[in-house]
């Protein structure tokens, strides 16, 4: 005797993580994202919006995007716009790649940033 399992119907559709929290929480995380960008500007001695992407600069931008993604709930579109990454749709790919790679190929400042940010998350 064979029994066929019926698929379980979802009562509510899945929501994007952008809409799960209240406006107060989103504002808090947006401010925290801006604080991380300011910390990165001091650490890397550069302003994100004012400078064009230079050769080799993508590692630095990946490092900052990873830190913002790890510590906040801001959308990837916000991260990409804040760092001047194009296209915004690739932000997740860059963040995942940075998180997976060992620190060996990174420049010294990027390695220090990754170590510092890894310890800061509770």
In terms of average pLDDT, the best of 49-53, 63-67, 89-93 is 63-67
Which region among 51-55, 74-78, 105-109 has the lowest average model confidence (pLDDT)? 51-55
pTM of the model: 0.73
Residue 18, pLDDT above cutoff 90: no
Cα distance between residue 36 and residue 5, in whole Å? 48
Ramachandran sector of residue 46 (left: φ over 0; alpha: ψ -120 to 50; beta: rest): beta
Q: How far is CA 90 from CA 17, 85, 119, in A?
A: 18, 8, 26
Residue 94, pLDDT above cutoff 90: no
Domain boundaries, the chain: 22-120
Q: What is the pLDDT of residue 31?
A: 94
Q: What is the pLDDT of residue 5?
A: 67
Average pLDDT on 4-8 reads 67
């Amino acid at each position: 005797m064979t029994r066929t399992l019926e698929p379980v119907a979802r009562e509510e559709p899945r929501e994007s993580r952008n809409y799960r929290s209240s406006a107060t929480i989103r504002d808090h995380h947006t401010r925290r994202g801006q604080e991380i960008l300011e910390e990165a500007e001091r650490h890397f001695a550069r302003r994100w919006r004012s400078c064009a992407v230079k050769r080799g600069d993508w590692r630095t931008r990946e490092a900052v995007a990873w830190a913002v993604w790890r510590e906040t709930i801001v959308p990837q579109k916000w991260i990409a716009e804040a760092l001047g990454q194009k296209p915004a749709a690739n932000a997740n790919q860059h963040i995942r790649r940075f998180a997976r790679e060992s620190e060996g190929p990174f420049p010294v400042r990027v390695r220090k940033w990754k170590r510092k940010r890894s310890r800061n998350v509770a």
